[in-house]
Amino acid sequence: MSELELHTLLVQGVFLVAALTVPALLFISAPYGRHARGGWGGQMDTRLAWMVMESPSVLWFTAVFFTGSQAWGLVPLLLWALWQSHYVQRAFIFPLKIRPGGLTPISVVAMGFTFNLVNAYVNARWIGEFGTYEIGWLLDPRLWLGLGLFVLGYKINRRADAVLAALRKPGETGYKIPRGGLYELISCPNYFGELLEWTGWAIATWSLAGLSFAVFTAANLVPRALSHHKWYKQKFPEYPSGRKAVIPFVL
């Protein structure tokens, strides 16, 4: 089997995992954060868990990317920087902003780590080796539409995560109703931002590799947003009734 055939197989695998993830998460919410519960084995510090889980998307992605024959092209480098702008924050800055002392099942970390290994390889190898991103791609509207969506999603995601981080005073562990901005329309603007980002990535790279990650992100985060939304409504009787879960005015 050639490496390109292996790459194709892995992309198909990500689509398959996405298809299986939707029904699984509609019935069993991923057991971390507010949906944490016993029965998922040993646990580890949540901040460290995020760093471990997400680090392949920074380190392994970079290593794979720079072994590619196209890595030093302007467009591939731009795409590499775009990916890293998200993942350096997610792996090494975001964990330091969430409350210390939380615990996450090691089984969840292992699944996230494994997925990120595959996903980072698939995307880095595509933009660094198998895809064709010549300088003319800089004039293609797909690149700019994708970049625009990515940046918009990035801002929404960062802002929404910052609102959540500010809800708790030092030492607090409970939950409050988030308010302001997109929180007036949806319960999970951080997930909405994330969906926009990876849709933008799929368009900017115009690749099945990018699309597989966008589809997986939706498969993972839409059911989780529905669980969060239901949980908010059960926990807070005064929860704003007009809010949707994750897509303004729609879902």
Binding footprint of ligand NDP on the chain (CB under 6 A): 33-34, 98-99, 102, 157, 161, 164, 167-168, 175-176, 178, 190-191, 194, 217, 220-221
Nearest to 239 by CA among 191, 192, 187, 166: 187
Nearer to ligand NDP, 129 or 194 (CB): 194
**Residue 102 Cβ vs ligand NDP, minimum distance, rounded to whole Å:** 5
The residue nearest ligand NDP at its CB is: 33
- Residue 163: phi, psi to the nearest 5? -60, -45
**Residue 161 Cβ vs ligand NDP, minimum distance, rounded to whole Å:** 5
Three-class SS state of 245: coil
Cα distance between the two ends of the chain: 43
**Residue 204 Cβ vs ligand NDP, minimum distance, rounded to whole Å:** 16
Nearer to ligand NDP, 168 or 244 (CB): 168
Nearer to ligand NDP, 31 or 33 (CB): 33
**Residue 222 Cβ vs ligand NDP, minimum distance, rounded to whole Å:** 10
CB 126 within 8 A of CB 207: yes
**Residue 226 Cβ vs ligand NDP, minimum distance, rounded to whole Å:** 13
Nearer to ligand NDP, 18 or 79 (CB): 18
Residue 38 is classified by DSSP as S
Nearer to ligand NDP, 33 or 148 (CB): 33
CB 241 within 8 A of CB 184: no
Q: Where are the alpha helices (DSSP H) in the chain?
A: 3-27, 46-66, 74-88, 94-97, 106-125, 141-167, 189-205, 208-235
